[in-house]
Amino acid sequence: MPKFPPTMQRLIEAFSELPTIGPKTAERFVFYLLRNKNQIDGLTRALTELKATVTTCAECHTFSEKSPCYICSNPKRDRATICVVAQTTDLASIESTAQYNGLYHVLGGVVDTPEDTARLNTAKLLERIKANGVQELILAFDATIEGESTILYLSRLLKPLGVKMTRLAKGLPMGSELVYADEVTLSSALEGRKEIY
């Protein structure tokens, strides 16, 4: 016999599919919404707008309401430098420092296994480097084994292009994620970036 009516159970299961949300938290969300039904319309509207208006920038692959995004279309940005990140959340973390004025490229993940390289947005990165006279790539990845593997993969892939490659300074502790780093640490890491062989 089901614990809850089918409609509630379906919503609990839908919430449970979100990252870091377990069944108990999903149940709390559903009960909260049932007690505060006036918030359901706002949540439904926000989700519908998210689905309808947010797209991926054709240039850098970040999430945006237009393509190219506000960063790629800003003529004041330094077009000779591209900061390569794994996800849009990493881009947002670096942008919050107000220390970087170049462009970005969202790779769409990191290298954990050799098969991962096929799903990364490397083709567009290569195209941008060749077409736009890029002089420096900042490889800004988490200080993890996967982040290091991604830097190694990209440095081997891009070395023939002769573009200068740097990485964030080691001010970021090994095993940490960019999204959790404070702005001072990220600013320091950007300023102290090192060239990759």
Residue 108, C-beta contacts closer than 8 angstroms, at least 6 positions apart: 61, 86, 87, 119, 120, 121
CATH of the domain at 28: 1.10.8.420
| Closest to 171 (Cα-Cα) out of 136, 137, 140, 135 | 140
- Report whether 125 contacts 70 (CB < 8 A): no
Who has greater pLDDT, 197 or 109?
A: 109
Helix (H) or strand (E) holding 138: strand 136-139
Residue 187 above 90 pLDDT?
no
Q: Is 120 contained in some domain?
A: yes
Is residue 71 located within the same domain as residue 159?
yes
Q: How many domains does the chain have?
A: 2
Is residue 190 located within the same domain as residue 102?
yes
Query: Can you give the pTM of this predicted structure?
Result: 0.80
What integer pLDDT is reported at residue 197 of this predicted model?
62
CATH of the domain at 154: 3.40.1360.10
Range of the domain at 32: 6-53
Amino acid symbol at 32: Y
Is residue 18 located within the same domain as residue 40?
yes
Q: Is 82 contained in some domain?
A: yes
Tokens standing for 81?
Answer: 């430098």
Tokens standing for 113?
Answer: 């296994």
Helix (H) or strand (E) holding 122: helix 122-132
State pLDDT tens for residues 122-156: 999 999 999 988 999 999 998 888 998 999 999 99
Phi-psi domain of 150 (left: phi exceeds 0; alpha: psi -120 through 50; beta: other): alpha
- What is the sign, positive or negative, of the torsion defined by CA atoms of 105, 140, 118, 127? positive
Residues 68-90, mean pLDDT to the nearest whole number: 96
Is residue 48 located within the same domain as residue 142?
no
